[in-house]
Amino acid sequence: MQINLADSKLDIKVQINGKRLSMFSQTNEYALRVITFLAAAPDTSRTNASLAEATQVPAGYLYKILNTLEKAGLVRSQRGKHGGYSLNRPAEQITVLDVVQAIDPLPRIHSCPLSLKSHGVRLCPLHRRLDQAFAMIEKTFRDTPISELLADGSGSIPLCEEKGRGDERRAFLTVSR
């Protein structure tokens, strides 16, 4: 397990059966930005270009993410002059876990990652604890609808950043409260 606090980002990586896994991928972060942005204005379709600019996701990569989210039934696309992407169902019915599982599912440990025959499917205390941690994160994500992220009373609005002094503010989206 690796914890890297450089650039104020938490990077947790785990090796399972020799495969190095990141607990939470950059692609999941991008997908959650997009879903949250669309949820803030559910009656508005957004183009790939406007989504890329607002969420700071590279446009070419965003297109792939949107296709995956569409295949998972989380967003829908509409062609034409007033086309674009929008949520396929209300934000109250989409959880953080729905998004994560569609893009890059959380790892779970079902058998000994070291392939120790004596352990088999009985996990040692360390790997059992790691899997329990993954299970807790999975439950938290399952219990968190996207609408809750927008309604959070913390004073921090998703995809908005304060710049400079005073009331100068760079907002990527506007949320009516």
CATH code of 98's domain: 1.10.10.10
Domain count across the chain: 1
* pLDDT score at 24: 74
Domain housing 44 = 25-171
Segment 84-111 shows an average pLDDT of 92
Order the strands of the 11-16 sheet from edge to edge.
2-4, 11-16, 19-22
Mean pLDDT to the nearest integer, 14-19: 53
Residue 15: inside a domain: no
Position 20 in a domain:
no
User: Does some domain include residue 48?
Assistant: yes
pLDDT digits (tens, 9 = 90+) for 56-90: 999 999 999 999 999 999 999 988 777 899 999 99
The label of the residue with tokens 């396929």 reads: 88
3-class SS of residue 99: helix
Establish if 138 belongs to a structural domain.
Answer: yes
* Residue 102: pLDDT over 60: yes
The β-bridge partners of 4 are: 11
Q: Report which of residues 13 and 50 the model is more confident about.
A: 50
Say yes or no to pLDDT of 98 above 90.
yes
10 falls within a domain:
no
Q: Does the residue 103 lie in any domain? A: yes
Rounded Cα distance, 126 and 99, in Å: 28
Q: Is the residue at 5 inside a domain? A: no
Please report, as a single letter, which amino acid is at residue 86. S
Tell whether 32 is covered by a domain: yes
Beta-ladder partners of 21? 14
Q: 99: which residues sit within 8 A by CB, 6+ positions away?
A: 28, 31, 32, 35, 69, 74, 146
For residue 89, give the nearest of 69, 103, 62 by alpha carbon.
Answer: 69
* 18-56: pLDDT as tens digits: 555 556 788 999 999 999 999 988 888 999 999 999 899
d(Cα 116, Cα 148) in Å, to the nearest integer? 42
